[in-house]
Amino acid sequence: MKKVITVFAIVIFTPIILWLGIYLFMSWRYQSRYMNGVMINGIYAEGMTPEEVNEHLVEKTEKATFSVVDKFGNVIDIPIDEMDYTYSYLDDLKRILKKQNPLMWGINLINGTVQNETIEPMGICDETQLREYLTGMDLIKNQIDPKKVRVEIVRTQDGYMLIDETKNLLDVDLTVDTIVDAVLAGKPNVNLEEEACYITMEYTAKMRKTLRLWKKIDDLQSTEIVCRFYNGNEHVDASVIASWIVKDENGDFAMDEDGKLLIDEEAIGKTVERWAEKHDSVGGPWTFHPTRGGTVTIEKGTYGYKLDQKKQKEYLIGLINAKKSDTADVIYSQKGWGKGTSDIGNTYIEVDMTNQMLYYYVKGKLKLKTPVVTGCTGRGNGTPERVCYIYFKQRNRVLIGPDYRTPVSYWMAVYNNIGIHDANWRGKFGGEIYKTNGSHGCINTPTSEVSKLYDMAEVGTPVLLFY
């Protein structure tokens, strides 16, 4: 009976002891390795040591880069790859291993338990070398002594600007420590302003006075005026306004009794004068393509755009004093009809005195053409070359000169006492009549044609007289 019991015990307990031994062996093994079901950053870690998992994770990690961002958004790259920089996940890997219970591996196996872990690497590098590099970089090396900071207003080509060095001071030790900590924490970058690396300084009484003055200048310079000319715009911005602000003999900003910055009205006038020299087209020259082909240049004339300098100056003074921005057409004392590169436009009267032909174009389309007779060149009365315009129209006018008194039905004055009119005493027009039997300077035109032109052409229509 004892023998039976012994055999029975051996049969029953041997597998149990064997299984228990295996279980305890696996539990002992999992004290230094990860149990089944453990996933770390997408790697199945069962049976692996932290060092082995670390090796796999480092292989998958992209090459390390690091940059510093200052308060102005400037990005400064730090060459950490030159400092034997590597990544390491070991701290977190050991933490994960430490918190697992090796005796639970079997239960986890039966339950199909899956443990997903996501960890970030730490950085490893030559810290001494890193600190030496940081203290030598311009961002740190060029820091101003807090006792020598400036709060000043300076003139630049873009206007006045404020230099406030109190806003850009870094706490050097804190900055270096912050960057080192970020590198060793495996971060790709650090923002110095977000990390409070900048020093906050108290302003002195002199600095506060400068800041109050700057506010007045900045308010004035913030005015933006766009003056629209027929051939482009002129912008009144900080760079222009800066030239209008008055300074006294000591170089200080001049103010009135109310503490308001003084504006140099004479300087504004000179600015307007320069605009007129640049944009005024009255007086010529003009270059255009006539109907006969080729190119013609007319040097003189009364037609075109002319800036009303007095009114334009007053307009600008009013806006500046009110600190009011605006966009508007300039104020002309005389206006042409064209825009862009040509002040003539595409509606005009063309008098080709070599070919004794008159053409009238409306929006680029020929509406009328006729032979004419212009001033008699043989008697010294040749019609002058000019770009002018119809400045007066009249029906049934009597033309009076030193030796003539001639009634006409249609009169369009274009330059001084020269005009376009009918000449019913002529039986022929065109050809070379003008050389020996031309007019006193006017453009004689057949009545049938000048009557049409009179009805179509408005006062202001450009007139081009050329040979």
Residue located via tokens 């933006």: 224
Q: Output the DSSP codes for 386-417.
A: EEEE--EEEEEEEEEETTEEEEEEEEEEEETT
In this prediction, what percent of the chain has a pLDDT beyond 90? 69
Provide the residue type at 277 as one letter. Answer: E
Q: Which residues contact 287 (CB under 8 A, 6 or more apart)?
A: 295, 296, 297, 298
Handedness of CA 386, 389, 392, 395 (dihedral sign): positive
Question: Could you give the CA distance from residue 187 to residue 194 in angstroms, rounded to a whole number?
Answer: 14
Could you read off the pLDDT of 156-205 as tens digits, one per residue?
Answer: 999 999 999 888 899 999 999 999 999 988 899 999 999 999 998 899 99
Which region among 97-111, 190-204, 383-397 has the lowest average model confidence (pLDDT)?
Answer: 97-111
Q: Quick check: 46 and 36 in contact, CB under 8 A?
A: yes
pLDDT of 466 strictly over 80: yes
**DSSP-derived secondary structure for 196-218:** T-BPP-PPPHHHHHHHHHHHHHH
How far apart are the C-alpha atoms of 408 and 396, rounded to whole Å?
5
3-state secondary structure of 4: helix
Amino acid identity for residue 45 in this structure: A
Tokens representing 19 are: 């299984």
Cβ-Cβ contacts under 8 Å for 412 (sequence gap 6 or more): 390, 392, 393, 419, 420, 421, 453, 454, 457
pLDDT, tens digit, 9 for 90 and up, residues 413-431:
999 999 999 999 999 999 9
Asked if 423 contacts 373 with a C-beta cutoff of 8 angstroms, the reply is yes
**CB-based contacts of 218, cutoff 8 Å, min separation 6:** 160, 162
48: left (phi over 0), alpha (psi -120 to 50) or beta: beta
Distance CA 202, CA 437 (A): 91
Strands 386-389 and 462-466, sheet pairing: antiparallel
233-252 pLDDT tens trace: 999 999 999 999 999 999 99
Given a contact cutoff of 8 angstroms between Cβ atoms, the answer to whether 298 and 466 are in contact is: yes
Q: For the chain, give me the number of helices (H) and strands (E)?
A: 13, 26
Average pLDDT, the chain: 92
CA–CA dist 253, 179 (Å, integer): 44
User: Residue 126 in contact with residue 204, Cβ under 8 Å?
Assistant: no
Query: Which one-letter DSSP state was computed for residue 226?
Result: E
Highest average pLDDT, of 85-89, 148-152, 312-316, comes from 312-316
pLDDT, position 1: 62
Torsion of CA 100, 106, 111, 117, to 10 degrees: 20
Band the pLDDT of 61: cuts 50, 70, 90.
confident
The count of C-alpha atoms lying within 13 angstroms of the C-alpha of 171, restricted to the half-sphere facing its C-beta, is 14
Q: Tokens for 354, please give them.
A: 């070599």
Distance CA(406)–CA(87), nearest Å, equals 105
Strands 232-236 and 225-229: antiparallel
Per-residue DSSP letter, 137 = S
Separation CA 446–CA 454 (nearest Å): 12
Tell me the two tokens of residue 272.
């307007």
Contact 268, 311 (CB under 8 A): no
Q: Is the peptide bond before 285 cis (omega within 30 degrees of 0)?
A: yes
Give backbone dihedrals phi and psi of 43, rounded to 5 degrees, phi first. -105, 130
Q: Distance between the two ends of the chain, CA-based, in angstroms? A: 148
What is the pLDDT at residue 6? 62
Domains of the chain as residue ranges with CATH: 222-287+302-334 (3.10.20.800), 348-466 (2.40.440.10)
Query: Could you report the per-residue pLDDT of 23-44, keeping only the tens digit for each?
Result: 777 778 888 899 888 999 998 9
Distance CA 181, CA 172 (A): 14
pTM of this prediction exceeds 0.85:
no
Distance, C-alpha 115 to centroid of its chain: 54
Helical spans, DSSP H, in 146-264: 172-184, 205-221, 238-242
Output DSSP code: residue 76. E
Give pLDDT, residue 12: 66
Distance of alpha carbon 103 from alpha carbon 83, whole angstroms: 43
